[in-house]
Amino acid sequence: MKTLDFKSAFKYPFNRAKGLWNILWLFLPIFGWLALGGYGIRIVKEFSKGKFKKLPLFKFKSDLKLGFMMFIKALPFIIAYIALMATLSIINIWLRTVIDTLIQIFVIPILTVNFFNKETVASLFEFKILKAVFNNFGDYIMALLKSIGLGLIFLLMWIVLVGFPAGTFTKNIFIADFYRRRVK
């Protein structure tokens, strides 16, 4: 299965450049944020299916509903994660820092993409998919490095204001591509 290349990922948000204006929903507190969250979820789902030609059309009502429902469904995982980190902080702050870093790098990205695709609370706790990460460790590390590189390029592009929406809409695309190729 073909891997998403860096050039295609960079060009992706600009293939339908007017879609970058959707970031302005950020200025509508709560409702705009949830709608953008739902839109980001739809982008990741499209990448997970191998559809990475251009940004999808923004649908405020359905994206808002999706963003809200996914936020509610994510709460059990968020609460469990906070409880784990609080417990580890009591035990040993250095242990907490190491475990938190490992979880942030190797667990949360792939579970998030899994959650976005399956849209169930249980999908955030499907730790068996971590086998795909560790069985394809080099590929996963490359996906992370590409994500970081793309994020840095879009960070530099903030000067011309397109970097912020481009970076926001492409945040998880390499992990979604990894998921498409290695998990399903």
Report pLDDT for 163: 66
The pair of structure tokens assigned to 19 is 């879609």
Query: pLDDT at residue 7 above 80?
Result: yes
pLDDT band of 56, cuts 50, 70, 90: confident
pLDDT band of 11, cuts 50, 70, 90: confident
Report pLDDT for 13: 77
Report pLDDT for 84: 97
Q: What is the pLDDT of residues 69-122, one digit of tens each?
A: 999 999 999 999 999 999 999 999 999 999 999 999 999 999 999 999 999 999
Report pLDDT for 162: 64
Of residues 42 and 8, the one with the higher pLDDT is: 42
Q: What is the pLDDT of residues 121-179, one digit of tens each?
A: 999 999 999 999 999 999 999 999 999 888 888 777 776 666 667 777 788 888 888 99
Instruction: State the average pLDDT over residues 55-73.
Output: 95
Instruction: State the average pLDDT over residues 10-34.
Output: 82
Alpha helices by DSSP H, the chain:
6-11, 31-48, 60-91, 93-106, 108-118, 130-135, 137-156, 163-169, 173-182
For residues 63-99, one letter each, b for 16 or more C-beta atoms within 10 angstroms of the residue's C-beta and e for the rest, the string is bbebbbebeebbeebeeebeeeeeebeeeeeeebeee
